[in-house]
Amino acid sequence: MENKIESSMEIEETGNYLQHFIYRVPKKNHDAIVQNLRKFVPWFKKNEMRLEDYQPSNSQTMEAMESITKTPSVTEDEDVWIELQYFRYQNHSEDGYTKMMQDASLKLLGDEFFNLITQGKSMMTGVFSQLEV
Q: Where exactly are the structural domains of the chain?
A: 9-58+67-123
90: left (phi over 0), alpha (psi -120 to 50) or beta: alpha
Residue 81, strand partner residues: 23
pLDDT grade, residue 15 (50/70/90)? Answer: low
Strand (E) or helix (H) holding 84: strand 78-87
Question: Is residue 128 scored above 80 in pLDDT?
Answer: yes
pLDDT at res. 98: 93
Reported pTM: 0.77
pLDDT at res. 7: 44
User: Which tens digits make up the pLDDT trace of 73-120?
Assistant: 788 899 889 999 998 888 888 999 899 899 998 999 999 999 999 988
In whole angstroms, what is the distance from residue 88 CA to residue 91 CA? 8
Residues 89, 19: contact at Cβ < 8 Å? no
User: Which tens digits make up the pLDDT trace of 41-64?
Assistant: 999 999 889 999 998 776 677 777
Classify domain 9-58+67-123 by CATH number.
3.30.70.100
Largest CA distance in the chain: 47
Residues 40, 101: contact at Cβ < 8 Å? no
